[in-house]
């Protein structure tokens, strides 16, 4: 057994071991505990704590949405009144098939948009229908918008913290 690790150090080690995925063995948390030289109960307690703090958003599968038939994805971007964007951003994020919704800085003059909502559909028609729904929800608070369709996935990996971490 290693000497007991400080919690921050242990959490960091857990991120390093788990960022590649949860082991597919009957007792995955026990396997992680064995790798780290700590008790299985400690691993499960830290994972629960990280779920509670939001450091782990959830544990589960990341589907390849193209494989599931969700082949169209459009990044809809909106120039929304600063006084309204937080109230409206929450409502846009509640719409089904919006997977990410953020406020980001404008970069005038090249980029006037401050609200980003990623919209998924089985084809562009579905994405366009969803974008129309967002436009109706935003109303006159949105002065302009655009939809950027992805034409190629060039790279897609999970979060990678340094191996030395």
* Subset of 73-112 contacting another protein (CB under 8 A): 75, 86, 89-90, 92-94, 96-105, 107, 110-111
Q: How far is the CB of 102 from another protein (least distance, A)?
A: 4
130: left (phi over 0), alpha (psi -120 to 50) or beta: alpha
Based on the shown chain and the rule CB under 8 A, indicate whether residue 29 belongs to the binding site for another protein.
yes
Based on the shown chain and the rule CB under 8 A, indicate whether residue 2 belongs to the binding site for another protein.
no
Of 3 and 164, which has the nearer Cβ to another protein? Answer: 164
10 contacts: CB under 8 Å, gap ≥ 6: 36, 38, 42, 46
3 state SS of 26: coil
The token duo for 118 is 């990623």
Among 7, 39, 59, 132, binds another protein (CB under 8 A): 59
Helix axes 40-53, 28-36, angle to 10 degrees: 110
Among 1, 3, 60, 140, binds another protein (CB under 8 A): 60
Of 65 and 143, which has the nearer Cβ to another protein? Answer: 65
């Amino acid at each position: 057994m290693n000497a007991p690790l400080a919690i921050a150090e242990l959490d960091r080690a857990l991120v390093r071991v788990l960022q590649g995925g949860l082991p597919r063995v009957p007792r995955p948390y026990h396997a992680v505990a064995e790798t780290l030289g700590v008790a299985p109960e400690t691993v499960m307690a830290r994972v629960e704590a990280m779920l509670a703090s939001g450091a782990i958003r959830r544990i589960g599968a990341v589907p390849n949405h193209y494989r599931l038939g969700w082949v169209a994805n459009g990044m809809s971007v909106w120039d929304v009144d600063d006084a309204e964007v937080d109230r409206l951003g929450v409502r846009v994020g509640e719409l089904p098939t919006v997977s990410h919704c953020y406020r980001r800085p404008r970069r005038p003059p090249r980029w006037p948009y401050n609200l980003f909502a990623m919209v998924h559909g089985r084809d562009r028609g579905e994405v366009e229908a969803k974008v129309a729904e967002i436009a109706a929800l935003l109303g006159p608070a949105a002065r302009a918008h655009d939809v950027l369709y992805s034409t190629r996935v060039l790279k897609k990996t999970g979060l990678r913290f340094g191996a030395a971490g």
